[in-house]
Structure 1
Amino acid sequence: MSSLHASEKALGLYLRNARQKLDPAALGFPATRRRTPGLRREEVAQRAELSVTWYTWLEQGRGGMPSAAALERLAGALMLTDAEREHLFLLGLGRSPEARYRQDTDVTPRLQRVLDRLDPSPAFIRTATWDMVAWNRAATELMTDFALLPPEHRNILRLIFLDPRSRTLHPDWESTARFIVSSFRMDTARAGAAEAVEPLVAELCAASFEFRALWQDRTVHTFGHGAKTFHHPVHGPQAFEVSTFAVDGRPDLILVIYGEVS
């Protein structure tokens, strides 16, 4: 059996298993007598707005490679969790789904414990729209005490462009600002959050001519080799190696760790 056919068969089995776990009555379908548990294939196709024939082929392992958009619709139709959705993409496309914007930014106690154990290395978790959602003590000491800010103000772009202390904290402020705006643009587009961040972009354009100029410049900038220097008002210059990691099961969240350079 070829590897392609094997992956198509695995995808079909996964779809069928997920379909059979759903309660038809809870989803508004008639509670008629059914030979097998769960939804029928045509009901899944209806919920996902896909062809019944093509969905049937997918379950039979002969539907070909689905698009990311089709997999997204299937994940919604089958009410998959984030981990299940990721597995669906791995089976269907051989890769994880792209990050997507979501309003739910709650961080589990387990993730907060991970951040706390990383101390004294500054570490935090941000969203695709660069909102800070969790941090450890070292991050507050280096950057600011985010707990004292209203949730809507815990945004890294706000700190860079609207907090005058950022120009002292970042000796390479101009290159930092270029990198953050470029990354913010790419991250929000990738996550489908371009419309959601329009109010923030409008506010920053009005409040900072530097942000407005960078936002209007569509050039994509790189940040170099992952090293970062801060000038702390108390501790003086501090050099870090910056590492970023996707959060397992939450591709919309990014873990950032500043490891001090000895």
Structure 2
Amino acid sequence: MARPTPHTTLGMFLAARRAAVTPHEVGLPAVGSPRRVPGLRREEVALLAGVSVEYYTRLEQGRVSGASPAVLAAVARALRLDADETAYVHRLGSTRSSRSTRSTRSEGGGPGSSPDVTPTPVHPRTRVLLDSLTGSPAVLLDRSMDILAWNPLAAALFLDFGSLPAEHRNHLRLVFLEPQVRQLYRDWEHTAGKCVARLRMEAAHEPHAPRLTALVDELSARDGDFRRYWARHDVRSITYGRNHFVHPLAGPLTLDWQALQVAMAPKQTLIVYTPPPGDADSRAGLEFLASWSSTPARGSVPDRH
């Protein structure tokens, strides 16, 4: 089966969003009862966007290459898309067919495949910054959410990343396929959905990236929850949030996180976790983990009290 192109991916996204908008929400009469499709019909979106039904149909079928910004903006308004969703539509819809799907076929992908990907270099100064964050867990991710580097406190919070094969050091993969990490999140459903939405947004930058393609194929084949989230076509450019953890040693932790783009490597993002101001319990829990992670023999757990 042919792999999705940016244009077919856009078409699937538009169809999913069209199904989520009711005629009442956009001021149209609900003509035809019962309606044969959930949400809006294609002709209704075309009417609202001021384009022909034929053109919108071709757009949703992935048969339009390089739609104009004006048309994409009109379709986004018709479907009541938010800022992230509108940016996603522009990124995919304005892409010209300069690369065919043969690139993903030749470079790797498919369930269970692990294309050879040269490790992304991490600047020495970025490593120094990671090591200096002794009181905050921090990990360095690329656009596919591969974990490129981390500090000891991040390993104490999640798991020993160094013990994993390099191809398994991926935040999304751990969230869905690693029981230890999955059980760590008290708000797993919320976290998983946000992670998938963020990956979709990042995928629009490089839709043919072999590593990302292989990751989506593997998770789709192995995890029903991932398939469910991926089918929703949610997209989000998420730069901060809050997670609630239940750590087996430190107990309940509430941690805020920020995603900081690395200026010298724009495709890399530093994720830093900090306790909310005034949350003495979470701060004490992190201090406990910092003490534990610095213990030469980790089998001996220091007394938290």
Is this a same-fold pair by TM over 0.5? yes
Secondary structure (helix, strand or coil) at the match of 1:197 reads helix
Aligned equivalent of 1:258: 273
Aligned equivalent of 1:161: 176
Task: Choose which of 197, 202, 210 in structure 1 pairs with 2:212.
Answer: 197
Q: 1:104 to 1:159 in 2, by over 3 A?
A: closer
Deviation at 1:194, TM superposition (A): 4.8
- Deviations along 1:231-253, one digit per CA (max 9) or x if unpaired, are 11110111111111110121100
2:250 aligned with 1:207, yes or no? no
Write out aligned runs for 1:178-189 (5 A).
Answer: 178-189=193-204
Q: 1:246 to 1:224 in 2, by over 3 A?
A: closer
Deviation at 1:113, TM superposition (A): 1.1
Deviation at 1:192, TM superposition (A): 4.3
Contact 1:226 1:242 in 2 (8 A): yes
Write out aligned runs for 1:105-120 (5 A).
Answer: 105-120=120-135
Cα distance between partner residues in 2 of 1:234 and 1:260? 17
Q: 1:247 to 1:225 in 2, by over 3 A?
A: closer
Aligned equivalent of 2:159: 144
Deviation at 1:201, TM superposition (A): 1.0
Q: 1:148 to 1:196 in 2, by over 3 A?
A: closer
Secondary structure (helix, strand or coil) at the match of 1:253 reads strand
- Deviations along 1:89-131, one digit per CA (max 9) or x if unpaired, are xxxxxxxxxxxxx955111221111001111200111000000
Cα distance between partner residues in 1 of 2:239 and 2:197? 13
Q: 1:239 to 1:119 in 2, by over 3 A?
A: same
Write out aligned runs for 1:91-106 (5 A).
Answer: 103=118, 105-106=120-121
Aligned equivalent of 2:245: 230
- Deviations along 1:208-254, one digit per CA (max 9) or x if unpaired, are 01101111111336879622211111101111111111101211000
Contact 1:122 1:142 in 2 (8 A): yes
Q: Note the residue ranges of structure 2 that are not aligned, 5 or more in a row.
A: 1-93, 96-116, 280-305
Aligned equivalent of 1:247: 262
Task: Choose which of 212, 231, 256 in structure 2 pairs with 1:216.
Answer: 231
Secondary structure (helix, strand or coil) at the match of 2:179 reads coil
Q: Note the residue ranges of structure 1 that are not aligned, 5 or more in a row.
A: 1-67, 70-101
Contact 1:179 1:222 in 2 (8 A): no
Query: Quick one: which amino acid aligns to residue 178 of structure 1?
Result: G
Deviation at 1:164, TM superposition (A): 1.4
Cα distance between partner residues in 2 of 1:171 and 1:231? 6
TM-score under structure 2 length normalisation:
0.50
Secondary structure (helix, strand or coil) at the match of 2:204 reads helix
Aligned equivalent of 1:131: 146
Write out aligned runs for 1:64-75 (5 A).
Answer: none
2:187 aligned with 1:175, yes or no? no
Cα distance between partner residues in 1 of 2:129 and 2:244? 24
Q: 1:223 to 1:192 in 2, by over 3 A?
A: closer
Deviation at 1:191, TM superposition (A): 3.8
Q: Provide the aligned C-alpha RMSD in A.
A: 2.3
Contact 1:121 1:259 in 2 (8 A): yes
Q: 1:185 to 1:222 in 2, by over 3 A?
A: closer
Secondary structure (helix, strand or coil) at the match of 1:106 reads coil
Contact 1:170 1:229 in 2 (8 A): yes
